[in-house]
Chains A and B, each alone.
Chain A
Amino acid sequence: MIASTPGDIWVYLADTPLLWLTVTLIAYGIGYIAFTRSRSNPIVNPVAIAAALLIGLLVITDTSYETYFDGAQFVHFLLGPATVALAVPLYNNLPRVRRAALPMMAALAAGVVTAVTVALAVAAALGAETQSLLSLAPKSVTTPIAMGISERIGGLPSLSAGLVVATGITGAIVVTPLLNLLRIHDWRARGFAVGIAAHGIGTARAFQVNQIAGVFAAVAMGLNGLTTAILVPVLANLFF
């Protein structure tokens, strides 16, 4: 086909995976530049900015999510191998992790149960539907794991993905003032807590503040992924 007007070019490109893959990378690039320009302020989250730009663009151009995803799936696919790759930092920090094994196990159990039950109790009390609750339950773990759990228990994976990002941004914003208020000064505890509650976005925030906090956050994120993947389906069977 020979495109003669800009409109023809659009019609042709709008249906190819190349366009939406490229636009996804550009949108993330814009979000990332905004994030660094703000001196890494956690409110200026690159994922939230990119998603907002892309949603706006899809609405304006009247493009369906299916067409968009034909292109974006190449990025989305990498979530699987990236989840497997979390084993590497976990392994590299095993000695440090072993030394604090007991406090970590206790904090992990308490934190995971708190994250899931408080979220469900609050949302249910305010009138959320069952399918929304099932999508909310895994929101404290990193997106690929949360989406996998959500799909398994009958939630909506893409709603879970959005709730995961919202959780991460919340955690990154509140962690420093909250733990200063509680007078908790142990970097291991601070990092570990934000890793449990706010997965990768919380972990990125922890690394910005302190290296040890970052390592413990990364470990917490990995352990929480495993724990929530086992715990949430069991809870879902019990309550829904």
Chain B
Amino acid sequence: MLRAFTLLLICQLAGESTAVLTGLPIPGPVVGLAYLLIGLMVYRKSTPWLDDTASGLLRHLSLLFVPASVGLIQHADRLRAEWLPLLAGVVISTIAAIAVGALTFVAVTRLTGHPAQGEDHKP
């Protein structure tokens, strides 16, 4: 776990440094994600110690959102004034994005002739 955590932090640190040095608008941890992915592709396999730590961190991913969500308390006035446009924007765009994403996926699957292999859902 210590090894894996060190590796994750090294990737993040390299990512943050890259983002700052190049002035890229991409967040540092995302660059770190790309570095780790490239590393795994070059190394051609993951290891149990990395898999275990990664799945442990990701299993409780939603806990990590809590402190930032509590930060909404700082925006009480803004939310009172703008709750309707923000809520409508969130709900309508989420419905639209799911529909468009799924329909596009299915349409391109048909065009390229790669139907689901035994992965169909029969409700």
A→B interface (CB under 8 Å): 24-25, 27-28, 46-48, 50-51, 54-55, 58-59, 65, 68-69, 72-73, 75-76, 78-92, 94, 99-100, 102-104, 106-108, 110-112, 114-116, 118-120, 122-129, 132, 136, 139-140, 142-145, 147-149, 151-153, 156-159, 161-167, 170-171, 174-175, 178-180, 182, 184-190, 192-194, 196-198, 200-201, 204, 210, 212, 220, 222, 225-226, 229-230, 233-234
Contact = CB atoms under 8 A, between A and B. Distances in A.
A233 B25 contact: yes
A24 B64 CA distance: 10
B108 A106 contact: yes
B11 A84 contact: yes
A203 B64 CA distance: 16
Q: Chain B at the A interface: mostly helix, strand, loop or mixed?
A: helix
A interface majority secondary structure: helix
A192 B66 CA distance: 25
Interface of B: 5, 8-9, 11-12, 15, 25-30, 32-37, 40-41, 46, 50-51, 53-55, 57-58, 61-75, 78, 82, 84-109, 112, 114-116, 119-123
- Greatest chain A CB density within 10 A among B11, B33, B115 is at B33
A111 B104 contact: yes
B96 A118 contact: yes
B66 A72 contact: yes
Contact of A126 (B62, B72, B85, B105): B85
Given A179-B98, A185-B122, A230-B26, A122 B88 contact: yes
Residue among B5, B25, B114, B116 with the highest chain A CB neighbour number at 10 A = B25
A180 B102 contact: no
A210 B36 CA distance: 27
A128 to B, nearest CB: 4
B15 A54 contact: no
Given A188-B116, A192-B102, A200-B62, A83 B33 contact: yes
Given A28-B63, A187-B121, A178 B68 contact: no
Contacts of B25: 149, 152-153, 229-230, 233-234
B96 A88 contact: no
Contact of A182 (B58, B75, B103): B103
A167 B90 CA distance: 6
A78 B72 CA distance: 20
A132 B99 contact: no
Contacts of A65: 70-71, 73-74
Contacts of B64: 75-76, 78-79, 82, 143-144
B29 A79 contact: yes
B68 A186 contact: no
Given A111-B97, A145-B27, A189 B67 contact: no
B58 A123 contact: no
Nearest to B59: A204
B93 A118 contact: yes
B41 A226 contact: no
A45 to B, nearest CB: 8
A188 B106 CA distance: 9
A111 B82 CA distance: 25
A103 B27 CA distance: 27
9 contacts: A24-B67, A47-B66, A76-B68, A84-B32, A100-B114, A116-B93, A174-B98, A193-B99, A229-B30
